[in-house]
Structure 1
């Protein structure tokens, strides 16, 4: 029993050291990325107006196709009886 308790204490000590190191590395990484890279040169050339219009057009086209297929299934099920 004493040996099992010592083993458990050893494992818990190793786990607490691992958690402490992982937490410290996460905080260090978060502090290092506070400024972050400057992506303004990449994002300045994108017009969000035209981009959102294109995304909405594709979504509307897909909704039309899915609606047409669903309507056709309903009509076919009514015809079959």
Structure 2
């Protein structure tokens, strides 16, 4: 179970760079996981690509894309 929040989300976005995505995703997940699920998450994060996939899915729900229209 995860408990995303604006502070953790913003820190994750600010830490990401073109050459640095996995470590920020891992840190983000460890910050938002509930304590009783932390050990299970650590095992899951050993799998290649898991951190990015989990962070992506969580953020789809937490921060859905806005529909933005710009008019002149």
- Shorter-chain TM-score bucket reads under 0.3
The TM-score normalised by the length of structure 1 is 0.22
Normalising to structure 2: TM-score of the pair?
0.24
Structure number with the bigger relative contact order (C-alpha 8 A, sep ≥ 6) is 2
Select the structure that is richer in helix.
1
Larger radius of gyration: 1
